[in-house]
Structure 1
Amino acid sequence: MLRKLLRIERKAAGRLVALDTMPHARWSARDYAGLAREGYGRNAVAYRCVRLIAEAAASIPFAVRGEGGGADAARALLARPNPDEAGHELMEGFHGHLQVAGNGYLELTGEAGGTHGLFALRPDRMRVLPSPKGWADGWEYRAGHERRVFSRDRASGRSAILHMRLFHPTDDHYGQPPLEAAARAVDVHNAGGAWAKALLDNAARPSGALVVTSRDGGEARLTESQYERLKGELETLHAGPGNAGRPLLLEGGLDWKPMGHSPQEMDFIEARREAAREIALAFGVPPMLLGLPGDNTYSNYREANLAFYRQTVLPLARKTAGAMQRWLEPWLGEGLGLETDEEALPALSDERAARWQRVGEAGFLTDAEKRALLGLEEIAR
């Protein structure tokens, strides 16, 4: 809402009453529902950023190191975590929650030594249960009238819930999502789209006023019937995209006074582009990958895609692998190794080929040393 401020100035000739409109920006809610609705649900740039990161991070397979039943159980669990999802589908939803909410939750079902299942839980239904010292002692999950409490074993650290969160400087238990940092840019971008739609609905004309004057230039008033007729003609003949360009026929004594600003005056198009680039910056997605015009940070698409994987996707995937390894070890046994299999990424194929060539041409290294540098197993003799 616009707050209206009446400023009254007293002068010798009487009173001068001026009406000033002081607009106050309205921002969308910063809770999970507001971010999901205004950001992911209604903004194409934020939606694409979340999908790009979630799909790219989920496409990086996990490499399970180790032998024995624990490693085999981990491979089976990650390949088919539950009856409804494959491994990459589960991780896509998990990483999507991290981008929108800043928190991701996985639930491990089953007993130690038995068959397990993995399920992603919605962050807005989870609540951290802190201990008297402030550390997370458990979690509460609410879905409708159902309430479940997951506790953590303090001695072993075993818990059925993996809570992974992004860094938040002022919160001990919950993470801050990139979408929250981009929320104001999302609001600007959404408001710009709504403004453009409203302008089209009003025949692409700025707002204005019809002024009635008499023949001698004095004040004049329309009768009630004249007012209603003029109002109806404006709504039916000059509003809406179908009436764009229709000339406004004014009768004697009527004059059109524009009151709004044109898109050029408001620099409206450039403001939307800057907001889109700011959204991409918050997520760590190069604007070139989103098709945003006017961004020449990278010389070509390949460099932008490589920077996206190196600076955004791979750090997130490595963090997830480390968190899942620490979480699964108490359940599947010590010595379980979980890493990201970066050798399988097509986006890094050029870097991989250059590294292989550089190591292969190093004549001062033995074959065993070259294989060790490339992460290959030693050949049994």
Structure 2
Amino acid sequence: MALWIGPDGASRPVRLKGGWDLLPFRRSGLGHSRSDLARGYSAAVWAYRCIKLRADAVAGVPLLLLGSDGVPIEGHPLIRLLRDVNPRTMNLGDLLRATEAAYNIWGVSYWLVERMGTTPRAIYWLNPQTVEPVVDAQRGITAYRQMVGGRTRMLDPADVIAFRNFNPLDDLGGLSPLGVVLNEVNAEISAAEYVAAFFANDTRPAGLLTTDQPLVDSELERVQTWWQRLFGGPKNRWKTGIVGSGLRWQPVSQAHTDLALVELRAEDRRAICAAFGVPPGLAGAWESVTYATAREQKASFYEDTMLPQMEYLAEVLNWSLVARYPDLVARGARLAWDVDSITALRESATDRVNRLRSLFEAGIITRNEVRAELGLPLAPVDGYTYQLVEEDSGMAVKSDWIEELNRWERFAVRRVKEGRHLRPFRSDVLPDRLREGVQEALADVVSVEDVRGLFNAVRDFIDDHPDALNADLAGVGEG
């Protein structure tokens, strides 16, 4: 149906016969119900991306069972349970992804522990849309009610592990991070629909055909149908039309360029990223990312967002899952994440060399401590006083070393650019320990910038420490 507005301002509906079906611009109007939050996750690109990043981050870090001495415990039934949490639906990675995603969509996530006697034998993820706590004013949560497909079952609270985001308005529920930015999510969905409708309408704003002449209903329908058939939709773009009968086109909506959609959508996206603790560059704002800032944003994402969250998850599991194994309680065992395996938090080869050099120059660590951290054999004598070779001889050796390092750098840069493995570099000029130290450090480089940074650090060290040329301590310069 279309709306006809007459010269007197009166309006009446007009039935259209054919024409392009234009997707209307509307607000999706998602509310805070559990089903609405699920639809918001499914429809909002940036919310989906942020939640997916968090879920993948949790699932990508190994979960370890540690004794009181910090040594991993292998072969325990709990380890086997977590390796294959249930035989029907998921492994540990699936379980952790679902847990973190649900936590961010609904503010709460549930596990059901299936027992044989008192021993857990399987773990199942429960969809928060199907679960609600049964609460007693005196005793708190007395059960969990799950409703699926018209069937209801009551679950013992002792068999349910709940992960909740603190909610000041609900002591027993969780605050949905997605719900916190629901206005921005609605705006993002509506803006996407508006853009889709705008291009479906051949990038023309909505408008009216006006005339001062009286028209009967049949004439109105004929003109409206003709207009839609001739100009509606992307297939009819750039067509030229001739309008008679005193008809004039009058836009009634703002031009696409006047709405500042880019700025408004960018602000909504920043708010969505902030709510989930995800740097915008990781979520998709590539225009604000460089190589250096991308690495910083990844590290910030783990340090500021994921490590505190994973620590919380581990605390819940230690309290509600590890406690089910008396032998583990007696040993002081605990579940913990293998944080050292997170690539984004590892020190690059360049950063490590610069850090050790700064500590050495400040007198905080000794030369052999530097060598020990780099995995190099210790020098015969540690300390800061070394017998130097004659100056002229030392300068010549230094020049040879620098020239050989420059040649090695060019070789390494070329292979990194070509995506090839850095094979061992042969040199009759560099001392074995210097060459081996640099070769070991090169195993950690991933980019041309890392290569250049490493060789710059080695050359700076040689310049700043002429005692590295001592023949008795050949190779100490690599530290």
Q: TM-score range by the shorter chain?
A: 0.7 to 0.9
Is 1:287 the equivalent of 2:280?
A: yes
Give identity over the alignment, percent.
Answer: 25
Higher strand share: 1
Relative distance call for 1:115 and 1:223 in structure 2 (3 A) is: closer
In 2, Cα distance between equivalents of 1:160 and 1:180: 28
Displacement of 1:18: 12
In 1, Cα distance between equivalents of 2:272 and 2:258: 24
**Equivalent pair of 2:65/2:73 in contact (CA under 8 Å):** no
2:321 is paired with a residue whose SS is: helix
Is 1:235 the equivalent of 2:228?
A: yes
Please list, as runs of the form range in 1=range in 2, the aligned pairs for 1:171-182 lying within 5 A after superposition: 171-182=170-181
1:106 is paired with a residue whose SS is: strand
* Aligned residue in 2 for 1:155: none
- RMSD in angstroms over aligned alpha carbons? 3.3
Relative distance call for 1:47 and 1:25 in structure 2 (3 A) is: closer
**Equivalent pair of 1:60/1:317 in contact (CA under 8 Å):** no
Is 1:89 the equivalent of 2:94?
A: yes
Question: What CA deviation, in whole Å up to 9, does each residue of 1:82-121 have, x standing for no partner?
Answer: 1132211111111111011110101111235645111110
Displacement of 1:328: 1.4
Displacement of 1:145: 3.6
* Aligned residue in 1 for 2:457: none
In 2, Cα distance between equivalents of 1:354 and 1:340: 23
Relative distance call for 1:69 and 1:254 in structure 2 (3 A) is: closer
Is 1:341 the equivalent of 2:327?
A: no
In 1, Cα distance between equivalents of 2:356 and 2:179: 43
Indicate the structure (1 or 2) with the bigger Cα radius of gyration: 2
Q: Which amino acid aligns with 1:342?
A: V
Relative distance call for 1:342 and 1:122 in structure 2 (3 A) is: same
Q: Which amino acid aligns with 1:40?
A: Y
Unaligned runs of 5+ in 2: 1-7, 12-25, 374-479
1:272 is paired with a residue whose SS is: helix
Relative distance call for 1:78 and 1:354 in structure 2 (3 A) is: farther
* Aligned residue in 2 for 1:304: 297
* Aligned residue in 2 for 1:40: 41
* Aligned residue in 2 for 1:207: 206
Displacement of 1:55: 0.8
Question: What CA deviation, in whole Å up to 9, does each residue of 1:280-326 have, x standing for no partner?
Answer: 11111111112226646995211111111111111111110110010
**Equivalent pair of 1:73/1:332 in contact (CA under 8 Å):** no
In 2, Cα distance between equivalents of 1:130 and 1:212: 66
Displacement of 1:135: 2.7
Residue 135 of structure 2: which of 130, 135, 145 is its match? 130
* Aligned residue in 1 for 2:249: 256
Q: Which amino acid aligns with 2:95?
A: L
Question: What CA deviation, in whole Å up to 9, does each residue of 1:35-56 have, x standing for no partner?
Answer: 111x211111111111110011
Higher helix share: 2
1:186 is paired with a residue whose SS is: helix
In 2, Cα distance between equivalents of 1:196 and 1:147: 43
* Aligned residue in 2 for 1:314: 307
**Equivalent pair of 1:64/1:71 in contact (CA under 8 Å):** no
In 2, Cα distance between equivalents of 1:222 and 1:115: 78
In 2, Cα distance between equivalents of 1:344 and 1:297: 24
Residue 119 of structure 1: which of 124, 133, 144 is its match? 124
**Equivalent pair of 1:112/1:331 in contact (CA under 8 Å):** no
Is 1:73 the equivalent of 2:73?
A: no
Relative distance call for 1:36 and 1:87 in structure 2 (3 A) is: same
**Equivalent pair of 1:138/1:151 in contact (CA under 8 Å):** yes
**Equivalent pair of 1:70/1:332 in contact (CA under 8 Å):** no
In 1, Cα distance between equivalents of 2:353 and 2:256: 51
Residue 215 of structure 2: which of 195, 198, 222 is its match? 222
**Equivalent pair of 1:102/1:175 in contact (CA under 8 Å):** yes
1:260 is paired with a residue whose SS is: coil
Q: Which amino acid aligns with 1:117?
A: A
* Aligned residue in 1 for 2:191: 192
Task: Output the TM-score relative to the length of structure 2.
Answer: 0.64
In 1, Cα distance between equivalents of 2:311 and 2:276: 17
2:174 is paired with a residue whose SS is: coil
In 1, Cα distance between equivalents of 2:118 and 2:310: 27
* Aligned residue in 1 for 2:50: 49
How many residues were matched structurally?
336
**Equivalent pair of 2:46/2:273 in contact (CA under 8 Å):** yes
Relative distance call for 1:132 and 1:281 in structure 2 (3 A) is: same
Displacement of 1:228: 2.4
Displacement of 1:133: 2.5
In 2, Cα distance between equivalents of 1:229 and 1:183: 43
In 1, Cα distance between equivalents of 2:307 and 2:353: 18
In 2, Cα distance between equivalents of 1:55 and 1:140: 29
Task: Output the TM-score relative to the length of structure 1.
Answer: 0.79
**Equivalent pair of 1:209/1:258 in contact (CA under 8 Å):** yes
Question: What CA deviation, in whole Å up to 9, does each residue of 1:59-92 have, x standing for no partner?
Answer: 1111211399998122111111111322111111
Relative distance call for 1:355 and 1:27 in structure 2 (3 A) is: farther
Relative distance call for 1:176 and 1:134 in structure 2 (3 A) is: farther
Please list, as runs of the form range in 1=range in 2, the aligned pairs for 1:358-373 lying within 5 A after superposition: 363=365
**Equivalent pair of 2:50/2:276 in contact (CA under 8 Å):** yes
In 1, Cα distance between equivalents of 2:204 and 2:244: 20
1:120 is paired with a residue whose SS is: strand
In 2, Cα distance between equivalents of 1:224 and 1:170: 57
* Aligned residue in 1 for 2:258: 265
**Equivalent pair of 1:128/1:138 in contact (CA under 8 Å):** yes
In 2, Cα distance between equivalents of 1:70 and 1:263: 61
Relative distance call for 1:71 and 1:128 in structure 2 (3 A) is: farther
**Equivalent pair of 1:64/1:75 in contact (CA under 8 Å):** yes
Q: Which amino acid aligns with 1:292?
A: A
* Aligned residue in 2 for 1:3: none
